[in-house]
Amino acid sequence: MIVYNISTKVPWYISDEWLIWQQEEYIPEIMQSNLFDDYKIYRIMDLEEDEGPTYTVQYFTSDKERYQQYIEEFAPILREKAFARWGNQLLSFHSAMELVN
């Protein structure tokens, strides 16, 4: 199993709007690629939240080829959409993990 992880620090003044956008627009677009089987949204608990919460969204897929296809065909377009909507207000990083055990 491959897990595609997107962690995002969100300022308080847009946190509610951003979370709704994630759930109603961004995540459904990613899932429409049909390259991920499921996803989960988490709020990271052990980070300082003075400036806002940090969320991580994890997308689960069965193999590296499906993940790579998403990265090549869909990720650039969706990242552009996110930047067009939120600009530099967010701090995000992306990682991929492979289930070992």
Total domains present in the chain: 1
Query: Which residues span the domain enclosing 68?
Result: 2-98
pTM of the model: 0.92
Query: How far, CA to CA in Å, does 28 sit from each of 12, 33, 47, 50, 98?
Result: 23, 9, 27, 29, 23
Instruction: Give per-residue pLDDT as tens, 46-85.
Output: 888 888 999 999 999 999 999 999 999 999 999 999 999 9
Residues 2-35 as b or e (16 or more Cβ within 10 Å = b): bbbebbbbbeeeebeebeeebeeebbeebeebeb
What pLDDT, on the 0 to 100 scale, is given for residue 48?
A: 82
Q: What is the mean pLDDT of residues 8-19?
A: 96
Q: What is the mean pLDDT of residues 37-46?
A: 96
Residue 20 belongs to a domain with what CATH number?
Answer: 3.30.70.100
Mean pLDDT computed over every residue of the chain: 95
